Amino acid sequence: MPDQTKERIVDAAYRALVKQGYHETSMKDIAAEAGVAPGLAHYYFETKEDLLVATIERACQPVMEAWRQAGMNLTGPLPEDADPMVVARMGFELAKEELRTYRGLFLLTFDMFGVGLHNPKIAAAVRAFIDERRAFIARITQGVIAGMNEAPIASADAIAAALWGSLHGIYLQKVMNPDFDAEAAIDALSEMAIAFATRPRVSLEVR
Amino acid sequence: MPDQTKERIVDAAYRALVKQGYHETSMKDIAAEAGVAPGLAHYYFETKEDLLVATIERACQPVMEAWRQAGMNLTGPLPEDADPMVVARMGFELAKEELRTYRGLFLLTFDMFGVGLHNPKIAAAVRAFIDERRAFIARITQGVIAGMNEAPIASADAIAAALWGSLHGIYLQKVMNPDFDAEAAIDALSEMAIAFATRPRVSLEVR
DNA sequence: CCCTTTTATTTGGTCAATCAATCAAACGCG
DNA sequence: CGCGTTTGATTGATTGACCAAATAAAAGGG
């Protein structure tokens, strides 16, 4: 049962990493959590970094699945007949849903961001992670802009970057402080985005 | 020259931490960078955590100073006669300025966020760091809301959280990828915020 | 002013603990 | 038997923390 064992190690790595973080989790810890010998993890993963990357990818699968079930594909194109405004609103709802469901994944992700600051291999994985989600938001934004009364100054990519950043920043505040009302913050962001998308001609001059 | 030595250690810690990150920097590295004996850092700072906290506080000083010189006090009240809209616009400009100037501080900050995920003492420092900046934004937001045509659904605090999160998320993208056009993202955020602040009565229904 | 005592600072080495990674040997299934 | 899998002990290196001794600075006394 080689594949099964590999999976058991990745699952154990997820639990251990969520609980203790990358630098505080040893390969021995992970092996113990998986109930295998200390050396076995290195049979399947050459380095600890590789195991972390595999763990992230695995942990993202249920999220991707949730998006797909909601009729949205993070990587594929938007459905032909989709109203971008509707998709955007659904996106904000899904963001709130994620917040309730995937606290462990966020811990893992933010931990990986920290590690990636000084680790090229992890940094590459982090950039890919960001790019995928940002590109998805950009596709929606593109459609929203097309339907706007007045073209915005900023590009769809820049707006997507601001939106992704905002969601990330809100998630971070939630992880750092469980009492933080992240849903209210997402609602606020949503309200800003809608005001932007439905704005009439507006002067940028200070009143 | 006890104070001077302590300062030299903190400065060395800043350089070493920015270059290598918390977990890859040993107390010995910092002592070497400062040109003092390996054990000396432990004379001034009981633990490595304490040194990190001191280093962050020190690194934030020039930023605080820049804000103060721009006529804004991160901790104090807004000036009586200040137009919140003008302050907000200046805030976005300062955010862009910071981005150009303080890359090292951002690396340090994001590193600290990562460490704080699984380290209570650092986590407390992180929460204080976030709260201070978010509260400042909230004061501006409060004033902007007061001048709006229609009261928003979201509270000033929620909006401030979304805005701070967005700035943080944009900074992160910049740190992770120097080619990322963070100024465009901040401009996009600014455009959204202004659309929100100057919006007329708008239906939340999907068109 | 010099000498002594006390206190503050700095040194450099030691400590036990921990780590990722390696590897030879054992296992077990076909 | 043979080969992919698994074991668990080992390696060499590094870590944060600690400490006793050395040095410098300050205080006090004659």
Please give the residue that has the higher pLDDT: either A75 or A50: A50
DSSP letter assigned to residue B205: S
Residue A206 pLDDT > 90, yes or no?
A: no
Residue A207 pLDDT > 50, yes or no?
A: no
Report which of B47, B17, B49, B21 is spatially closest to residue B30, judged by C-alpha positions: B17
Give every CB contact of residue B93 below 8 A, 6+ residues apart in sequence: none
> Residue B17 CA to C6 C1' — how many Å?
38
Q: Which of residues 40-69 of A touch strand D (CB under 7 A)?
A: 40, 43
User: A59 with A150: CB under 8 angstroms?
Assistant: no
B144-161: burial string, b at 16+ Cβ within 10 Å, e else: bbeeeeeebebbbbbbbb
> Residue B72, by phi and psi: left (phi above 0), alpha (psi -120 to 50) or beta?
beta
Mean pLDDT, rounded, for B165-184: 97
CA pair distance B112, B55, nearest whole angstrom: 11
Domains of chain B: 1-45 (1.10.10.60), 60-197 (1.10.357)
Report which of B110, B75, B96, B101 is spatially closest to residue B190, judged by C-alpha positions: B96
Give the tens place of pLDDT for each residue, B110-144: 999 999 999 999 999 999 999 999 999 999 999 99
The strand ranges marked E within chain B are none
Residue A113 pLDDT > 80, yes or no?
A: yes
Please give the residue that has the higher pLDDT: either B204 or B177: B177
Give B201's pLDDT tier (boundaries 50, 70, 90). low
Look at residue A163 and give its three-state secondary structure. Answer: helix
Contact residues for strand C with beta carbon within 7 Å: A 24-29, 38-39, 42-43, 46-49; B 1-2, 5, 36-40, 43
What distances in angstroms separate CA A54 from CA A13, A45, A103, A105, one per listed residue? 9, 9, 18, 13
Give B202's pLDDT tier (boundaries 50, 70, 90). very low
pLDDT value of residue A147: 82
CB-nearest to B184 from A155, A167, A181 is: A155
User: A200–B204: do the CB atoms touch at under 8 Å?
Assistant: no
Give B83's pLDDT tier (boundaries 50, 70, 90). confident
Q: What is the largest CA-CA distance in chain B?
A: 70
Nucleotide nearest to B41 (CA to C1'): C10
Residue A197 pLDDT > 80, yes or no?
A: yes
CA pair distance B78, A170, nearest whole angstrom: 25
Give the tens place of pLDDT for each residue, A154-176: 999 999 999 999 999 999 999 99
CA pair distance B24, B199, nearest whole angstrom: 49
Mean pLDDT, rounded, for A90-97: 93
pLDDT value of residue A43: 97
Give every CB contact of residue A121 below 8 A, 6+ residues apart in sequence: A49, A53
pLDDT value of residue A75: 78
Please give the residue that has the higher pLDDT: either B180 or A1: B180
pLDDT value of residue B1: 58
A123 near B CB under 8 A? yes
Give B150's pLDDT tier (boundaries 50, 70, 90). confident
Look at residue B38 and give its three-state secondary structure. Answer: coil
Residues 6-25 of B with CB under 8 A from A: 20-21, 23-24
The tokens for B94 are 């300062």
pLDDT value of residue B149: 75
Give A201's pLDDT tier (boundaries 50, 70, 90). low
User: B166–A159: do the CB atoms touch at under 8 Å?
Assistant: no
pLDDT value of residue B37: 95
pLDDT value of residue A2: 67
Mean pLDDT, rounded, for B158-163: 98
Question: Which DSSP string do the residues of B150-178 spell out, in sequence order?
Answer: S--SS-HHHHHHHHHHHHHHHHHHHHH-T
- Most confident stretch, A131-140, A156-165, B149-158: A156-165
DSSP letter assigned to residue B119: -
User: B115 with B123: CB under 8 angstroms?
Assistant: no
Mean pLDDT, rounded, for B5-20: 96
CB-nearest to B169 from A157, A165, A207 is: A165
The tokens for B16 are 């070493």
- Percent of chain B's residues with pLDDT above 90: 75
pLDDT value of residue B51: 97
CA pair distance A203, B6, nearest whole angstrom: 52
Residue A16 pLDDT > 90, yes or no?
A: yes
User: B176–A130: do the CB atoms touch at under 8 Å?
Assistant: yes
A127 near B CB under 8 A? yes
User: A111–B114: do the CB atoms touch at under 8 Å?
Assistant: yes
